[in-house]
Structure 1
Amino acid sequence: MTPRTTVCTTEQGAVRGTLSDSADGGVASFLGIPYAAPPFGPRRFLAPCPPEPWQGVRDATAYGPTAPHAPYAPPFDALIPEDVIPGDDCLNLNIWTPAPGPGARLPVMVWLHGGAFSNGSGSVSAYEGSAFARDGVVCVTLNYRLGSDGFLHLPGVPDNRGLLDQVAALRWIRANISSFGGDPDQVTVFGESAGAMSIGVLLATGQARGLFRRAILQSGACHHFLRPSSAALITDRLATKLGVEAAPEAFAAVPLADLLPAQAELRAEVSARPDPALWGEAVLNLMPFEPVTAGLSLPGPDCGVDLLIGSNREEYRLFLVPTGLLDAVSESGLRAATTAYGLDPDQALPTYRATHPAATPGELLSAVATDWFYRIPAIRLAESVPGSHLYEFAWRSPRFAGHLGACHALELPFVFNRLHDPSYAPMLGTRPPRALADAMHAAWVSFAKTGDPGWPAYGTTTRTTMVFTEDPAPEDDPHGQERLLWDGVR
């Protein structure tokens, strides 16, 4: 049977999408729409340029090219959904809507994918947006430049080109989303890991002011960036690996077949040799490609954006359990890492041991690193913007004999309500709780529609936090003893 199609109009031209059966809610999808011109040739390492208009009706029934990136290293290549679609026209987006055409003015949710600023795309099946569309929300996913093309600090060209791509996509959405049934004044941007960290930078710098009304930050906030001095070390090391000058034209001349593996090797080197003299601040984040800025200030009460912020209870287990590192951490290694994160191990570790009875050094390191990377930055952002809502995802995966726990990225299939997607199975196991997915997805939809996810806002008196388990319920100040350890530190 030939799929039914439908046509919507953008400023660049008309696009033809696919209309699903009414049994699936009648959702229309428009895939691979360019929001900016291909960032190659004379546009390489520059700010994004508007897309060229086209004649006739452009086909939008298949995903477009993804931003160039190397695959995840084992074992993460088997755990985290990923795809590669070749082609230069990689600055594109995808739309799912229950009401194609102007007039509906539905709330809009725009997804920024994670991947340590080096991996990921908006076209993996894991981020398919039909569940949001069936609940009356226009859902958009997008690609942005990654790795050196998106975030390498280079002389004479703009920094943070990947963030500039995100802003360009948001501007395209503001100009065009009404044609797909969306309300440009009711945009919620949401993202996970590097996607959430991107939102944190956009909030703190005001680069996207007026382009979204609400934001959901999953496992990332305003604490992840590199100062120019650290970013320059990364640039020099990559240039040395490739045997080129640390200049845009020199990197542009390197074939992607050589550049992408070198970027992946660089990430591995940071983890293997976490020496500040080599990598600067990247030794703590273990991410050589990050937004570059001299500093970030928390946005404060006048940011004008409703916020939903959170983290997973055992984020760092994703990086320790599948790799076998959880059991390799020694007591001396735990103490050294705790010190590197800014805590006095003699004062902090007794508290973590008291709240994690019988924990091994690796499990304690996971708890400390989870707080440094994710939980404390989320709390600081919620503290800075009154009326914010905070959550913690605490359902534990049965995978890896139960040791994977409530790890990084585990909340994604629940947010997108896609427990059936096979790409999530390596992390979810076989029987994830459907009711939890329904509850979490509904909270995200409610927040996008009303600014209220369904529990009280976070405040420094009660510190109310929604804890998502099989029986979700709000708690006041969960893990409060550990939180106090980070006052004045993180």
Structure 2
Amino acid sequence: MDTRAGTSTEFRTTTGRVTGRRSPGGVIAVLGVPYAAPPFGPYRFRAPQPVPGRDDGAPRDATSFGPVAPQSAELPGAPVWRPGDEDVLTVNVWAPDLPDAGALPVLFFLHGGAYTFGSSAQPHLDGAALARAGTVVVSCNYRVGFEGFGHVPGFPDNRGLLDQIAALRWVRENISAFGGDPERVTVAGHSAGAGSVACLLGMDRARGLMRRAVAHSVPGTFYSVGAAAAVSARIAAVAGVGATADGLLSASPAHLVAASDAVAARGAVDPVLPRHAGDPVVFQPVVDGDVLPADPLTAVGSGAARDVDLLVCHTLEEQWFMHATGSVREPRSEEEVGDAVEALRLPRHLAARYREFMPDASRLDRFLALLGDACFGEYTTRLAERHAGAGGRAFLSRFARRRPSPDGDVRPWHTADVPFALGTLDAPDARFLIGGDPDEQDRALSRRMVRAWADFADRGDPGWPPVTPDAAPVRMWAVPDDGLADDASFRVRRLWRDVDLGTPEPSPHP
């Protein structure tokens, strides 16, 4: 059977035949294909297990997304998890309908969601536009929340990362059937997806599975095993079970989702770790010395991924999104600003530096600027710098698109860049992210960003110079026009010169 895109919507994979559907614009979508066995029953809390092969001779209907991993989130336009949904480890493929194109570059996208929620079925994560730009696009669901990142004694940490690696192995074994080149795989992600990309760069298990990487808004928080165990113990206590393997296995996924949500909600008054007083994210990758040998800055700085090209981006006003969605507690005094900074294990004097740097800004705006740089901007930039310093090729960009609106300026906040880079400005869930309906300047910006991603996946060149030991060119994504700046011109970075970042969060109990 000829399984190349353009001749059929049926494809042969290592676990059987699948049938997709044609999408508008010359793209074939193959959705909800299992890459690992359901991670429940005897496989719960374990590394992902192989999918049993299909032997009934009938192709799998792959025309709709698979169920999402256990979570409580109800995201616009995406499926919600229901107890009993078990086949949650699936991939989606968007392949150009180009039978004579040869082997095309592959772009593998990881969704965000604070390592706690999200799925590949969110409408603004559709891969068709990038497929039309000449790439084979793959996305996947992976375990999130306690099932993916909760510490369980005797079981592997970072099960969500292990799921991603299993999905990448599926890509290596199967993507040629869809017209993709398994030697030109770019792993991309945003927020927790970008944090996952950063982790994968330093993981032995991921070596050889990617040629390039794209990371937008990399969160810089990682747990030690002790910190992860403390979070797990609190969740177990709320769930009414022991913090042991048997105790946690006795709690249903739904029960642990509810307990995790309760622990996150009480963080402001009863934090597990100091950072939880202002940061409701209770799950993070765990630097366990095995699955994740070191934090990403350390791993990348040692040259662990120098053979992988890296493209990074962050938005200029990341944290305003968290404030708009109710994830940031407003400080009532300068003392509270300092307390929040210290809870993040940052020097208290950063608060004073931002007062001097932004003398006319309100306390809230200064606080959000500091948090945005602390949680995403500075870490993302340092990842590129460390990679370049270790001999890798790194490209730096920042999303600066602003425009006026009746409710005030639309800010370049967290996640606003994703619909632009994926070409999904008209997705029903993109309107809030980008601050209203797109105009023609927005569409032109999106076309430029899609082209940059596609060219980077194809040949490792997004269209501007890489970071070097002597210079750090920065592509500024903006309307009406983009520009190339020098990182040295961003005065805010001087505030961070003597600040350490990225070391794993320690146990709360010495």
Deviation at 1:26, TM superposition (A): 1.8
Q: Determine which of 459, 463, 482 is the counterpart of 1:472.
A: 482
Q: Could you tell me whether the CA contact under 8 Å between 2:89 and 2:143 is conserved in 1? A: yes
The answer on whether the counterparts of 1:8 and 1:100 sit within 8 Å (CA) in structure 2 is no
1:396 to 372, 393, 402: 402
Does 1:333 pair with 2:325?
Answer: no
Q: CA RMSD in A?
A: 2.4
Report how far residue 268 of structure 1 moved: 1.8
- Aligned residues of 1:97 and 1:139 also touching (Cα < 8 A): yes
1:290 aligns with 2:284: yes
State yes or no: 1:431 paired with 2:408.
no
Matches within 5 A, 1:115-134: 115-134=113-132
SS of the counterpart of 1:407? coil
Q: Per-residue deviation at 1:27?
A: 0.8
Cα distance, 1:162 vs. partner? 0.6
Deviation at 1:102, TM superposition (A): 10
CA spacing shift, 1:426–1:400, aligned 2, 3 Å = farther
Alignment of 1:283-362 (within 5 A): 286-294=280-288, 295-296=294-295, 297-300=298-301, 301=303, 303=305, 304-323=307-326, 329-341=332-344, 344-346=347-349, 348-349=350-351, 351-353=353-355, 355-362=357-364
Distance 2:323 2:80 in 1: 26
Instruction: Name the counterpart of 1:83.
Output: 79
Q: Residue 235 of structure 2 aligns to a residue in which SS?
A: helix
Secondary structure, in 3 states, of the residue corresponding to 2:205?
coil
One of 380, 383, 386 as aligned partner of 2:382: 380
Deviations 1:402-434 (A, max 9, x none): 366211111111011111111111232123511
- Is residue 32 of structure 1 aligned with residue 42 of structure 2? no
1:125 offset after TM fit, Å?
Answer: 1.6
Q: Could you tell me whether the CA contact under 8 Å between 2:311 and 2:396 is conserved in 1? A: yes
- Secondary structure of the structure 1 residue equivalent to 2:407: helix
User: Can you list the C-alpha shifts for 1:266-308, whole angstroms capped at 9, x where unaligned?
Assistant: 22222x2374xx3266557542111111442231345110000
Q: What's the TM-score once normalised by structure 1's chain length?
A: 0.90
What per-residue deviation string (whole Å, max 9, x for no partner) do you get for residues 33-81 of structure 1? 0000011111011000010111321111111111111116xxxx6xx76
Unaligned stretches of 5+ in structure 1?
A: none
In 2: Cα distance, 1:15 partner to 1:188 partner? 24
**Structure 2 residue 236 is matched with structure 1 residue 242:** no
Where does residue 183 of structure 1 map in the other structure? Answer: 181
* Equivalent residue number for residue 232 of structure 1: 229
Q: Give ranges in structure 2 of 5+ residues lacking alignment.
A: 1-6, 289-293, 502-510
Q: Decide whether aligned partners of structure 1 residues 306 and 113 sit closer, same or farther in structure 2, where only a CA change above 3 A counts.
A: same
Q: Aligned pairs, how many?
A: 473
Query: 1:313 is matched by which residue type in structure 2?
Result: L
Q: How does 1:165-180 map to 2 (within 5 A)?
A: 165-180=163-178
Q: Letter of the 1:273 partner, please give it.
A: V
Distance 2:79 2:260 in 1: 17
Deviations 1:187-242 (A, max 9, x none): 00000011110111111233301000000001016x32110111111111011101
Instruction: Give, in whole Å, the separation in 2 of the partners of 1:46 and 1:467.
Output: 42
Q: Secondary structure at the match of 1:385?
A: helix
In 2: Cα distance, 1:220 partner to 1:367 partner:
16
- What is the SS of the residue equivalent to 1:446? helix
Q: Percent identity?
A: 38
Question: Does the C-alpha gap of structure 1 residues 230 and 384 become closer, same or farther in structure 2, counting only changes over 3 Å?
Answer: same
Q: Deviations over 1:363-405 (max 9, x none)?
A: 1111111111111111211111122001111113657933662
Say which is worse superposed, 247-256 or 30-39, in terms of deviation.
247-256
Instruction: Give, as a single letter, the amino acid of the residue that structure 1 aligns with 2:212.
Output: R
| Residue 351 of structure 1, CA deviation | 4.5
Counterpart residue type for residue 188 of structure 1 = T
Alpha-carbon separation, structure 1, partners of 2:458 and 2:120: 22
1:178 and 1:6 map into 2 onto residues whose CA distance is: 14
Query: Contact (CA 8 Å) 1:188, 1:216: kept in 2 or not?
Result: yes
1:67 is aligned to 69
Contact preservation (8 Å) 1:150, 1:161: yes
Deviates more, 1:101-110 or 1:178-187: 101-110
Residue identity in the other structure for 2:438: R
Q: CA 1:392/1:25 → structure 2, altered by over 3 Å: closer, same or farther?
A: same
- 1:138/1:324 CA distance change after superposition, 3 Å: closer
- Report the equivalent of 1:461: 470
C-alpha distance 49-372 of structure 1, shift in aligned 2 (>3 A): same
**Aligned residue number for residue 4 of structure 2:** none
Change (3 A) 1:479 1:39: farther
> What's the CA shift for 1:441?
1.2
Q: How far did 1:485 drift?
A: 2.2
Superposition map of 1:187-202 within 5 A: 187-202=185-200
Shift of 1:103: 8.2
Change in CA separation of 1:108 and 1:274 when aligned onto 2, cut-off 3 Å: farther
Amino acid at match of 1:50: P
User: Residue 441 of structure 1 aligns with which residue?
Assistant: 450
